[in-house]
Homo-oligomer: A and B are copies of this chain.
Amino acid sequence: MYNFAIKLDNYTFMKRRSLRHNAIREIITNLAISSQDQLIHKLKEKGFDCTQATISRDLKFLRVYRVADEFGNYVYRLTGEVKKRRQGRLDIRHLTDNIKALEFSDKLALLKTNPGYANSVAIIIDQVEPFEILGTVAGDDTILIVAREGVPRSDVRESVFRIFPGMKNRIR
């Protein structure tokens, strides 16, 4: 008699390492862990006893990484995890440095930025709410600016320049 389907909901037969890996996944998705030592302690609470070296290998195996969060603290993340929205203090000058071009096509204005900056730049524009601008849609490195009906390009351009004064200096 053979087994054709093997059920694995019983953790009893799982290897110790696999169990620990699962525990690690669970811990770092629910808690803000910023060092392997912290992880050791949380694991101990769950009954897993191991050294920091083992954790290091586990994290390597699981492709877990450590990255700065929005508050400037380091946290561990699972690969492929969806990143959270970023809010907070944004430096106009810094953002301006990452704006590459302002172009027009029909009634749309496109603000090109360095990769990853579109959202931050668009947030500023949205906060200012210039009369000339109806709304924006930000991708990764491009912002689509929709002008209010009847507003000419030059006005849109000026309103953007009003928000990011540094841009003017970089036009040749």
Chain B nearest CB, measured from A158 CB (Å): 11
| Residues of B with C-beta under 8 A to A137 | 137, 139, 142, 144
Known: A4-B104, A6-B171, A119-B139. 18 other contacts (CB 8 A): A2-B154, A5-B104, A6-B102, A8-B99, A8-B100, A10-B170, A14-B97, A15-B94, A18-B94, A18-B98, A25-B115, A60-B68, A65-B66, A66-B66, A67-B79, A82-B117, A84-B116, A137-B137
Give me the interface of A with B, judged by CB distance under 8 Å.
2, 4-15, 18, 22, 25, 60-61, 63-68, 72, 74, 77-80, 82-85, 93-94, 97-104, 114-117, 119-120, 122, 137-140, 142, 144, 153-154, 157, 166-167, 169-172
